[in-house]
Structure 1
Amino acid sequence: MKISQIKDFFISIEVIPPLRGHSADNLYKAIDKIMPYNPAFISVTKHPPELEYYEIDGQILKLPKVKRPGTMGIVAALKMRYNVDVVPHLTCIGNSKFELEELLIDLDFLGIDNVFVIRGDKKKNVIKKEWQYDYAYQLVQQISDMNKGKYLYQTAKKTNFCIGVAGYPEKHYESPNLKTDIKYLKRKIEAGAQFVITQMFFDVEKYFNFVKLLRDEEINVKVIPGLKPILSYKSALKIPGTFYVDIPEELIEKLDNARTPKEEFWTGVKYTIKLIEKLKENNVPGIHFFTMSNTDAIVEILKHI
Structure 2
Amino acid sequence: MICLMTLASVYQSTDCAISFELFPPKTSEGVELLCKNVERLMQFGPKYFTCTYGAGGSSQGTTLEVLQKVKQITKLPVASHLTCVGSTVKELEAYLTEAGRIGVDYIVALRGDPPKGTTQFEVTEGGLKYANELVELIRGRFGDLGIAVAGYPETHQEAVDFQTDLTNLKRKVDAGADIVITQLFYDNDDFYRFRDACEKVGIEVPIVPGILPVTNFKQAKRIASMCKAAIPQSLESAMTEADDDQDQFRVGVEHARQQTIDLVNNGVPGIHYYVLNKSEAAAELLDGLSLTSC
TM-score in same-fold range (> 0.5) = yes
Q: Deviations over 1:202-242 (max 9, x none)?
A: 01011010010000000010110000011133234323322
Query: Counterpart of 1:106?
Result: 98
Q: Single out whichever of 117-126 and 34-43 deviates more from structure 2.
A: 117-126
Query: Counterpart of 2:84?
Result: 92
Matched, 1:31 2:35: no
Supply the AA of the counterpart residue of 1:4.
A
Q: Single out whichever of 287-296 and 119-128 deviates more from structure 2.
A: 119-128
The alignment's C-alpha RMSD in Å is 1.9
Query: Counterpart of 1:56?
Result: none
Supply the AA of the counterpart residue of 1:231.
T
State the Cα distance separating 1:301 from its structure 2 match. Answer: 0.9
State the Cα distance separating 1:248 from its structure 2 match. Answer: 0.3
Supply the AA of the counterpart residue of 2:26.
L
Matched, 1:217 2:201: yes
Match 2:113 to one of 108, 111, 121: 121
Secondary structure of 2:287's aligned partner: helix
Query: Counterpart of 1:46?
Result: 53
Query: Counterpart of 1:249?
Result: 233
Match 1:192 to one of 154, 176, 179: 176
Identify the structure with the greater strand proportion. Answer: 1
Q: Is the 8 A contact 1:273 1:304 kept in 2?
A: no
**TM-score for the superposition, normalised by structure 2:** 0.89
Secondary structure of 1:255's aligned partner: helix
Match 2:165 to one of 166, 178, 181: 181
Number of residue equivalences: 279
Match 2:131 to one of 136, 155, 165: 136
Q: Deviations over 1:25-64 (max 9, x none)?
A: 01112212101112101000022458xxxxxxxxxxxxxx
Supply the AA of the counterpart residue of 2:268.
V
Query: Counterpart of 1:297?
Result: 281
Identity level (%): 30
Question: Structure 1 regions of 5+ residues with no counterpart?
Answer: 51-65, 148-158
State the Cα distance separating 1:286 from its structure 2 match. Answer: 1.0
Distance of 1:69 and 1:104 partners within structure 2: 12
Supply the AA of the counterpart residue of 2:66.
I
Q: Single out whichever of 20-29 and 83-92 deviates more from structure 2.
A: 20-29
* C-alpha spacing 1:139/1:301, structure 2 compared with 1 (3 Å): same
Query: Counterpart of 2:62?
Result: 70
Q: Is the 8 A contact 1:18 1:68 kept in 2?
A: no
Distance of 1:90 and 1:166 partners within structure 2: 12
Distance of 1:72 and 1:17 partners within structure 2: 9
Query: Counterpart of 1:280?
Result: 264
State the Cα distance separating 1:297 from its structure 2 match. Answer: 0.5
